[in-house]
Amino acid sequence: MQGDARVIKRILVVVAAAVGLVAPSLAYGQAPTIPDEVRQSVQARVDHAYNTGIVIGLVTPGGTTYSVYGSRDSTGAPVDEHTVFEIGSITKAFTGILLADMVRRGEVALDDPIHKYLPPTVTVPMRDGRPITMVDLATHTSGLPRLPTNLTPSDPANPYADYTVEQLYAFLSGHTLRRDVGAEYEYSNYGFGLLGHVLALRAGTTYEALIAARMANTLGMTSTGIALTPDMRARLAQGHVGTTAVSQWDIPTLAGAGALRSTAGDMVRFVRANMGLLTTPLLPAMEASHEPRHRAGSDAMQIGLGWHILTRDGRQIVWHNGGTGGYRSFVGFRRDGSRGVVVLTNSNRSADDIGYHLLDPGLPLEEVRVAVAVDPGVLAEYSGRYQLAPGVVFDVTAEDGRLFAQLTGQPRFEVYPSSSTEFFYTVVDAQLSFVVEQGKIVALTLHQNGRDMRAAWIP
């Protein structure tokens, strides 16, 4: 999309008055200001093809500020706070609150074994006689894996669309737990999808209807749901991987793990409600979902009911992010109610760092690399195959003055030069550098996640 004259890029800041009742311990003040370094970073990400469009909502007791930049789709329609995005795993925060609300209603208990609400034909695995409970699913401590082994999509571009309830039950009935129930945190999309399914069974309805009746309608979130209404579809942002448009994801059976779609405007209402800035009967359930219940990977990170809680310099940040095929999302707030944030993008490139930085300026923004001009003849010399591991090869090709790299089993992506030997991806935070010895190219090195992995030239 970079350089496409049809793409309209703009920065728009909208200040909205505070909505709802502010908790007595908080005072009204000025609406928040989105720092210049954040807006400049957003503009650079869109202008340099990291992201297609980004919408930010920043919340304080004084009000809400939106900052938007980029486009919704190839028509050049700009994104704004009414644009619909897939929010992916942020759905898990909704599921956690839904569980807490059903506990308050007396419909379930956190320590209820899940087999209590499943059909008798389904066998739920146990370990040392310990059953999987509702809270185990909600804290990713059930021992169930991230994904079921019988998830074999007919369309990899929409991987959850054809996963059925029968497959959900078949995997559960045949699975052997690898660790003690309740012992260790292991993030599980399957587990949260199962939790949403169990809650819907208990309520005698579908997950989608349950979310609508008890959360979206209660909070006035008119553009939040799973099925797209005609109006929502008209405002839907097109998802992208890099600059390539990709299809939306459908998640019918594991809906509780990541099926929701929403707008920044609706998600701001969700954040304000969680911060206690919006009058809602859901506040007690929301507050219960924020309570840390288990260590989640490090001493600084814990898990509540769906939400993650980061403790840093004595301050707790409650957050969740999400990602589907062509979208990334982040929502979080300081637990003291002083600040909250929503970040939505219609690209597969994460913008989590923006959310973290707005909540804690001590957490840095990601570097946005800018491409430089390199002679096409130099690029052509890099064309070839490089072996990263047995059976894993980089195919590098030069076309029309551009360089592309494709790793075995993955799509082909353009890489952009930061020098004559160093290149970067925009779809992920990764870089390639070519190793030249005595005038000959002998290898490339992949730099990703703090690791340097050498791939030797294949003659």
In the predicted model, what is the mean pLDDT of the chain? 93
159 in a structural domain: yes
Sign of the CA dihedral running 344, 318, 201, 101: negative
Q: What is the pLDDT of residue 17?
A: 28
**pLDDT above 50 for 306:** yes
27 in a structural domain: no
276 in a structural domain: yes
Give the pLDDT band (50/70/90) at residue 5: very low
Higher pLDDT pick, 399 / 6: 399
User: Are residues 406 and 281 part of one domain?
Assistant: no
| Helices of type H across 148-262 | 165-174, 189-203, 207-211, 217-219, 230-234, 255-258
Q: What is the mean pLDDT of residues 255-278?
A: 98
Q: How many domains does the chain have?
A: 2
pLDDT digits (tens, 9 = 90+) for 162-185: 999 999 999 999 999 999 999 999
Q: What is the pLDDT of residue 23?
A: 30
Distance in angstroms (rounded) separating the CA atoms of residues 245 and 116: 43
39 in a structural domain: no
> In which residue are the tokens 């008209």 written?
234
**pLDDT above 80 for 387:** yes
Supply the DSSP symbol for 309: E
45 in a structural domain: no
User: Are residues 250 and 176 part of one domain?
Assistant: yes
Look up the domain containing 299 and give its range: 85-359
pTM assigned to the model: 0.90
**pLDDT above 50 for 444:** yes
Q: Strand pairing partners for 328?
A: 323, 345
**pLDDT above 50 for 127:** yes
> In which residue are the tokens 């304000």 written?
272
User: Are residues 349 and 297 part of one domain?
Assistant: yes
Secondary structure of 265-305 in the HEC alphabet? HHHHHHHHHHCCCCCCCCHHHHHHHHCCCEEEEECCEEECC
Give the pLDDT band (50/70/90) at residue 31: confident
User: Are residues 297 and 219 part of one domain?
Assistant: yes
| Domain end among 327, 359, 391 | 359
59 in a structural domain: no
User: Are residues 386 and 238 part of one domain?
Assistant: no
User: Are residues 412 and 275 part of one domain?
Assistant: no
Residues in the chain: 459
Q: What is the pLDDT of residue 29?
A: 62
- The CATH number of the domain holding residue 328 is 3.40.710.10
User: Are residues 351 and 271 part of one domain?
Assistant: yes
**pLDDT above 70 for 10:** no
Give the pLDDT band (50/70/90) at residue 149: very high
Higher pLDDT pick, 350 / 24: 350
Interior angle at CA 141, CA 140 and CA 142, nearest 5: 100
Q: Strand pairing partners for 444?
A: 434, 455
User: Are residues 401 and 333 part of one domain?
Assistant: no
Q: What is the pLDDT of residue 101?
A: 98
User: Are residues 238 and 101 part of one domain?
Assistant: yes
226 in a structural domain: yes
Q: What is the mean pLDDT of residues 435-446?
A: 95
User: Are residues 385 and 342 part of one domain?
Assistant: no
Q: What is the pLDDT of residue 295?
A: 97
User: Are residues 323 and 399 part of one domain?
Assistant: no
- The CATH number of the domain holding residue 428 is 2.40.128.50
**pLDDT above 60 for 8:** no
Q: What is the mean pLDDT of residues 59-67?
A: 98
User: Are residues 314 and 214 part of one domain?
Assistant: yes
| Domain end among 303, 325, 359 | 359
Percent of the chain residues topping a pLDDT of 70: 94
DSSP 3-state of 450: coil
**pLDDT above 60 for 18:** no
Estimate the share of the chain in helix, then strand, then coil, as percent rounded to the nearest 5: 25, 30, 45
| Domain end among 324, 359, 394 | 359
**pLDDT above 70 for 7:** no
72 in a structural domain: no
Supply the DSSP symbol for 127: B
